Amino acid sequence: MKRYQCIIVGSGIAAMQLANHLSNRFPILLITKSGLRSSNSYRAQGGIAAAIGKNDAPSLHYEDTIHAGCDFHNEKEVLDLVEKGPSLINELTQSGLRFDENPTGQFSLGMEGAHSRNRIVHCGGDATGKHVMDHLMTTLSSHIDVLENRLVYELVIHPLTKKCIGVKLKDDLGNNEVYWSDHVVLATGGVGGLFLFTSNDPSITGDGIALAYQSGAEILDMEFIQFHPTLLYVNGQTAGLISEAVRGEGARLVDAQGNAIMKDVHLLGDLAPRHVVAGELFKQRSMGREVYLDISMINAIEEKFPTITAICQAQGISIEDGKIPVAPGCHFLMGGIAVDTVGRTTVEGLYAIGETAATGVHGANRLASNSLLEGLHYGKKLAAYLNEQMLHSQSEPMKIDLTKRTTITNYSLPDKQQLREKMMAYAGIIRSQLELEQLRAWLNDYDSVGRIDFSLDDSSSEDIQLLFMVQTAKLIAHAALLREESRGAHKREDFPDEDERWRKIHIVQSKKGIEMRVPHREYDQVEVHA
């Protein structure tokens, strides 16, 4: 079996940016569970936030990020992110990617919720993710091997050093494969597939978080999950994202009678932070009221938003009618695998970047269009670190017996649809102690799942993914039950206010147990320059 210097698990923007910046001196393997284009990054309608406008500055981008995330960030990481934003956009431009321009030939900068300036760059209107990802795939070096339709079901941990030294995976026929590496990077996205309503690609089900947890890594702040306010809602189901950029162009959220919903809720109205808008729409719908996005004031909407137009047409919704039925759904995970400033987890040899990592840049609620920026930033940052590490590392052949663990095939599993329904109902937009305890009790009926200490070699890919979903759901339920306040995207009906005592407390989960922790990082000594 071929040995690699680095294995990347995932195919979103963080994974592709990392792959593009790794030195071509070293053999690299990229593995994805489905196709290369089956990622949230490829679906991204919103653009990339960066302070490149004449009346903008990284300091303003910083302030907006902190405000939207309810002051729950690693402030040094936020500052580094926003300061690197303009150069990352310039780097993509220099490599041949064309961003949308206005008639004067300047970047056409859009507005989205909780931003104080127009600072969102787009490609192809609402198809930014597709254009950026296609560009990164085109520029991918030939020294990188790519395996599609492979499910990584176990990280190989050295029994003595406890270092991650490889991965075990299944191909689309169920055959097992093992690949060895000095460095393994998880870039598997978030947890949208755990919820009934979601904007995420169906393949995004929290695999990376479950893999990291089972390997002994620390998992951080899993209660903070952003629900996007506006998913197309048809026949009792959500059917695609309606980008916040539509509201940035002037669209309003209204009820069936045309009354503005957000008018008296927040000073920013329809462009309030996402957790505010999603919470209000949830309240409206829980009272049996339908919610619509009034787009009647937007000229040439088909040209500005071709992806959204196509989604609506596919579901029989007429853009010409001027109203799009919407509902909130799971969109983005702010928590995830605990990492340091370059993406190292608490397990040696294991790294995490992108949405699956808890970098601290999003706080309790991500600012719109900061996610693609995060993927670009940490992909490049980790590549610089790994290039240095691989330059000086001397790999030894692995001699480990992987056959000693017990294989168990009679574990019980829940119904996938039922799991998604319960997660949406009990760990969704508005939570309570009673419902979270009911969810936890239901999940605990599958107690063996939480300890996946047995071998999954003989399990099917479908069973393994469901095992991972249950494990990740438990991490979410535990954290949401413990945080007795409402902050950002975490809203508790029984604790409706922010509590200053919780502002710097992070909930850390690992196989060792659960810990309330105030990080050692310095939050309050950051100098922000205009």
Kindly tell me if the per-residue pLDDT of 528 is higher than 50. no
Beta strands 219-220 and 336-338 are: antiparallel
Q: What's the token pair of residue 373?
A: 């920026």
Q: Is residue 48 classed as helix, strand or coil in its secondary structure?
A: strand
Selected from 3.90.700.10, 1.10.10.10, 1.10.150.120, 3.30.565.10, the CATH number assigned to the domain covering 225-330 reads: 3.90.700.10
Pair 192, 330: CB distance under 8 Å: yes
Q: How confident is the model at residue 410 (pLDDT cuts 50, 70, 90)?
A: low
Complete DSSP assignment for 143-192: TEEEE-S-EEEEEEE-TTT--EEEEEEE-TTS-EEEEEEEEEEE-----G
Residues near 28 by beta carbon (within 8 Å), at least 6 away in sequence: 4, 5, 6, 7, 8, 19, 22, 143, 144, 145
Integer CA distances (angstroms), 441 to 121, 221, 379, 433, 478, in order: 45, 20, 38, 12, 11
Q: Is the pLDDT of residue 470 over 50?
A: yes
Give the pLDDT confidence score for residue 44 in this predicted structure.
87
| Residue 33 burial class via C-beta count within 10 angstroms: exposed 0-12, middle 13-18, buried 19 and up | buried
123-132, 215-224, 374-383, 397-406: range with lowest mean pLDDT: 397-406
Chain centre distance of CA 259: 33
Residue 113, token pair as written in the block: 């919720």
70 conformational bin, left if phi > 0, alpha if psi -120 to 50, beta if neither: left
Read off the pLDDT of residues 426-456 as tens digits, 9 standing for 90 and up.
999 999 999 999 999 999 988 655 455 668 8
Kindly name the residue from 119, 150, 252, 274 that is annotated as catalytic.
Answer: 274
Is CATH 1.20.58.100 what the domain over 416-517 is classified as, yes or no?
yes
Is 312 within 8 Å of 319 (Cβ atoms)? Answer: yes
What's the pLDDT tens digit per position in 32-85? Answer: 999 888 888 998 888 999 999 999 999 999 999 999 999 999 999 999 999 999
- Strand ordering across the sheet containing 292-294: 237-241, 225-234, 323-333, 292-294, 252-254
Looking at every residue in the chain, the average pLDDT score rounds to 92
CATH of domain 3-224+334-391: 3.50.50.60
Distances (CA, A) of 483 to 69, 192, 479, 495, 507: 16, 21, 6, 9, 8
Q: Is residue 301 within a helix (H) or strand (E), and if so which, with residue range?
A: helix 301-304
Tokens 């990164």 belong to 136
Rounded distance between C-alpha atoms, residue 409 and residue 157, angstroms: 22
Q: How confident is the model at residue 1 (pLDDT cuts 50, 70, 90)?
A: low
pLDDT tens digits, one per residue of 196-215: 999 998 889 999 999 999 99
- pLDDT over threshold 80, residue 408: no
User: What's the whole-number mean pLDDT along residues 8-13?
Assistant: 97
Mean pLDDT in residue range 135-143: 91
3-class DSSP assignment, residue 470 = helix
Q: Does 274 qualify as catalytic in the annotation?
A: yes
Q: Quote the percentage of the chain above a pLDDT of 90.
A: 80
Q: DSSP label at 263?
A: T
Q: Rounded distance, CA 251 to CA 270, Å?
A: 8
Cα-based distances in Å from 210 to 111, 186, 203, 318: 36, 11, 14, 41
Q: Is the pLDDT of residue 524 over 70?
A: no
410: Cβ–Cβ under 8 A, 6 or more apart, which residues?
none
Mean pLDDT score, 314-328: 93
Q: Which of 188-192, 318-322, 432-436 is predicted least confidently? A: 318-322
Residues 6+ apart with CB under 8 A from 26: 4, 5, 6, 143, 390
Which are the contacts of 356, defined by CB distance < 8 A and separation ≥ 6? 10, 186, 187, 188, 189, 190, 208, 209, 212, 333, 336, 337
Q: Do 225-330 and 416-517 fold alike per CATH?
A: no
Domain ranges of the chain: 3-224+334-391, 225-330, 416-517
The pLDDT value given to residue 395: 60
Residue 419 has pLDDT above 80, yes or no: yes
Tokens of 94: 């220099």
Contacts 24+ apart (CB under 8 A), 257-260: 258/294
